[in-house]
Amino acid sequence: ELEQACQIGAQILAQWPDNPVLCSIYSALLYDNDDMNQAFEYAKRAYTVSPAHAYQALHVLASERLLHQDLTGAMRFVELAQGQR
């Protein structure tokens, strides 16, 4: 099911490649599907286009910071995400 969701997400993003909400959700799907590099790329795109619409992407970006052992950077993204809810 997750793989199918990623395929559908890719098809939708092909029509609206700069939609920050779609990029954000797609980044979370990719992350859950263990496609980290793509997940981080789409999370960064969502955050660049509109941080206010990148809730899921902020969590993906926090995970990226943790992989680089950057706890301060990770917490910054978590706090930004919590501020959106």
Give me the percent of the chain exceeding a pLDDT of 70: 100
* pLDDT tens sequence across 28-63: 999 999 999 999 999 999 999 999 899 999 999 999
pLDDT for 34:
94
CB 32 within 8 A of CB 2: yes
pTM for this model (two decimals): 0.90
Residues 24 and 13: their CA atoms lie apart, in Å, by 11
- Alpha carbon 82 to chain centroid, angstroms: 15
Residues in the chain: 85
* pLDDT tens sequence across 2-29: 889 999 999 999 999 999 999 999 999 9
- Alpha carbon 62 to chain centroid, angstroms: 9
CB 76 within 8 A of CB 45: no
